[in-house]
Amino acid sequence: MRILGIDPGLRATGFGLIDTRGDAMRYVASGVIRSGEGHLPERIGRLHQGIVELVREYRPTVAVCEIVFVNVNPKSTLMLGQARGAALGALVTSGMKVHEYTALQIKQAVVGYGRATKEQVQEMVKRLLSLPGVPSTDAADALACAICHNHGGPVIGSLGRSLRSGRVL
């Protein structure tokens, strides 16, 4: 299975691709899609197009996107939500099945601690994928999304929904 992880952001949207067979994972590619300068609609369009091109080039089996947290600054949260919407729209219109996880779920699955630092996530991604160097924070977060999905993501996602609704035990 080829998993595409997406870490949405308006300035920089991280992406990471891994191939999996059971628990075995192999790094394929990672990087950042930059929206550049200009008016918001054009920037959103560039993010959307960049993700469509990724799907076309790498042909992932499934996509995973980090769920946006609510920031103290409402404007920042709204901008991030728009970038995430562009990413989800690009994935769905490209025919992808999309799974979503919170940052806490992703960190728990990858590092073993839901409040892990960015540096801890980067280091664990490097180790798990046997990378020669530490990936950028955006790329590491996207790769962590993909790793989370491979490490029982659907169970993690359903457990999170159950916990939020009070249906566990």
Say whether 138 is catalytic: yes
Angle at 1 (CA atoms; ends 98, 105), nearest 5 degrees: 50
For residues 30 and 16, is the Cβ–Cβ distance under 8 A?
yes
Cβ atoms within 10 Å of 43's Cβ, excluding its own:
20
Which residues are registered as beta bridge partners of 15?
A: 6, 31
> Which residue ranges are tagged as binding site for Mg(2+)?
7, 66, 138
**Structural domains of the chain, ranges and CATH numbers in brackets:** 2-151 (3.30.420.10)
Residue 164: the pLDDT is 46
- Reference 86, options 39, 55, 41, 54; nearest CA is 41
Amino acid letter, residue 40: L
Identify the active-site residue in 19, 42, 100, 138: 138
- State if pTM tops 0.85: yes
Rounded Cα distance between 89 and 83, Å, is 10
Sign of the torsion angle spanned by Cα atoms 96, 81, 29, 150: negative
Structure token pair of residue 156? 């993690």
Read off the pLDDT of residues 102-130 as tens digits, 9 standing for 90 and up: 999 999 999 999 999 999 999 999 999 99
Which one is catalytic: 19, 53, 66, 119? 66
Please state, for a pLDDT cut of 90, what percent of the chain lies above it: 80
Residue 130, exposed/middle/buried by CB under 10 A (0-12, 13-18, 19+)? exposed
* Higher pLDDT, residue 8 or 152: 8
Q: Which residues are annotated as a binding site?
A: 7, 66, 138
Asked if 19 and 1 count as a contact pair (C-beta separation under 8 A), the reply is yes
Q: Is 141 a catalytic residue?
A: no
